[in-house]
Structure 1
Amino acid sequence: MKDTFKHKGMRQQLVEVVKAKGITDVNVLNAIGKIPRHLFMDSSFIDHAYQDKAFPIAADQTISQPYTVAFQTELLQVKQGDKILEIGTGSGYQTAVLCLLGAQVFSIERQKELFKKTSQFFPKLGYRAKKLIFGDGYIGLEDEAPFDSIIVTAGAPFVPKPLLSQLKIGGRLVIPVGDEIQIMTLFTRKGTKEFEQQEFGEFRFVPLLEDKN
């Protein structure tokens, strides 16, 4: 598992690409510039690691496009020590970005194959999530609620109510909503039953799975 000067140079080029697309959060850009994305991918895809594209990983899932990761993370407005729930661990790349920003990350993965792979691999890279969980993202993680923010990294046909209820007042839920094409949606909890909703354009994600295994 090597991270060379060449990889670091390619990452800086990627940062410039993501910046040119409108990402302005310096901490997010720094995280994209530091995390060795090629280590989260199958070795046959190494040449593609620093292109701004999604790529296949195990279990018919994908590692998200770096711009999408940066976009969702910027919407979360992560602060040091924030307690964040991630729905869809996947390769662990988004998880690593959140960890590097100083968040306490609880991450749920529905695919057993991916969960096992990422659970073993993630600590080897030196990242420390608070907890990686094999479970159903639709129901969230009530035992650890409330959260400062929740990020969903797969396309949800609807907004799961448990996720909204597990946000702190002032907390933010970033979720791509839709079937074939998703609308990136931000919910901010304003009160016990009051939520502000904002939409941020079209994205494409793999579907959020229910009770797969």
Structure 2
Amino acid sequence: MRKFEDTYRHKGLRKKLIDSIRDKGITNERVLEAMMNIPRHFFLDTALDHIAYEDRAFPIQEGQTISQPYTVAYQTQLLEIEPYDKVLEIGTGSAYQAMVLAEVGANVFTIERQKKLFDLNKEFIFRKKYPGIKFFYGDGFEGLPTFAPFDKILITAAAPFIPPKLIEQLKPNGRMVLPLDNEGVQKMMRITKNHDGSYEEETFSNFSFVPMLKGRN
């Protein structure tokens, strides 16, 4: 059984990573502190332990990735999480992003379409630190209508379009952050829902994500 240890070496490497993310323009200190408190190497294969704190994405099971730390910080900052915000995450993956959201103070509902990843997260010992995170196996395009509405929604895969069912599940004045794929270029978008059901769009930087797929696997 794997033994999880967070050594002084790990913490030193993590601090260097957080400092580099701050230098790249992340200004929300609550987000940076949350990421400082979460050992990223716990979410990766032990073979990657020596490079776990490089600012890049790494492969995980089922052809998915754990996002680049800068990307995690960027998306989280755009959401502007307030304490106790009800947040829906589409694409649990390794659960790293979900735990960053929880560490910032959100009530997290997260959906994963890959059954193997969903099952692995059920067995992940570190998730016990965040008992409030609610994990679901399902199709992200459908969201979680039973638990709606949500204050914030985060999509962690390249969406081919803005999912209408997720807009429906967003509260008025709520925000959704997603990488929107347009002919192979993924633009980070922030959607703010109006009281009449329409929404405003803001466009930010280019990023690279695995594609958001329909259905369950």
Q: Given the two structures, how large is their TM-score scaled by the length of structure 1?
A: 0.97
CA contact (8 A) 1:88 1:152 kept: yes
Deviation sequence 1:8-67 (CA, Å, 0-9, x none)? 111110011100110000100101111000000111111121110000000000000000
Structure 2: tracts of 5 or more residues without a match: none
Instruction: Report the equivalent of 1:103.
Output: 106
Secondary structure in 2 aligned to 1:86?
A: strand
Q: Percent sequence identity over matched residues?
A: 48
Residues 57 and 115 of structure 1: is their aligned pair in 2 closer, same or farther, counting only changes over 3 Å? same
Alpha-carbon distance in 1 for matches of 2:144, 2:127: 25
RMSD between aligned residues? 1.2
Secondary structure in 2 aligned to 1:139?
A: coil
Q: Does 1:187 align with 2:167?
A: no
Instruction: Report the equivalent of 1:61.
Output: 64
Secondary structure in 2 aligned to 1:157?
A: coil
Alpha-carbon distance in 2 for matches of 1:124, 1:176: 26
Secondary structure in 1 aligned to 2:124?
A: helix
Q: How many Å apart are 1:102 and its aligned residue?
A: 1.2
Alignment of 1:37-186 (within 5 A): 37-121=40-124, 123-178=126-181, 180-186=184-190
Q: Look up the equivalent residue of 2:208 and give its one-letter code.
A: R
Alpha-carbon distance in 2 for matches of 1:6, 1:85: 34
Point out 4+ residue stretches in structure 1 off by more than 3 angstroms.
Answer: 122-125
Q: How many Å apart are 1:129 and its aligned residue?
A: 3.8
Q: Look up the equivalent residue of 1:187 and give its one-letter code.
A: I
Residues 125 and 18 of structure 1: is their aligned pair in 2 closer, same or farther, counting only changes over 3 Å? farther
Alpha-carbon distance in 2 for matches of 1:83, 1:207: 25
Residues 122 and 175 of structure 1: is their aligned pair in 2 closer, same or farther, counting only changes over 3 Å? farther
Instruction: Report the equivalent of 2:206.
Output: 202
Deviation sequence 1:80-107 (CA, Å, 0-9, x none)? 1010000000000000100101111000
More displaced 10-residue stretch of structure 1: 189-198 or 36-45: 189-198
Secondary structure in 1 aligned to 2:15?
A: helix
Q: How many Å apart are 1:118 and its aligned residue?
A: 1.1
Q: How many Å apart are 1:202 and its aligned residue?
A: 0.6
- 1:211 pairs with one of 201, 212, 215: 215
Alpha-carbon distance in 1 for matches of 2:170, 2:145: 10
CA contact (8 A) 2:98 2:133 kept: no
Structure 1: tracts of 5 or more residues without a match: none
Alpha-carbon distance in 1 for matches of 2:128, 2:52: 16
Residues 11 and 117 of structure 1: is their aligned pair in 2 closer, same or farther, counting only changes over 3 Å? same
Secondary structure in 2 aligned to 1:45?
A: helix
Alpha-carbon distance in 2 for matches of 1:177, 1:122: 33
Q: How many Å apart are 1:128 and its aligned residue?
A: 2.4
Q: What is the aligned residue count?
A: 213
Alpha-carbon distance in 2 for matches of 1:24, 1:165: 31
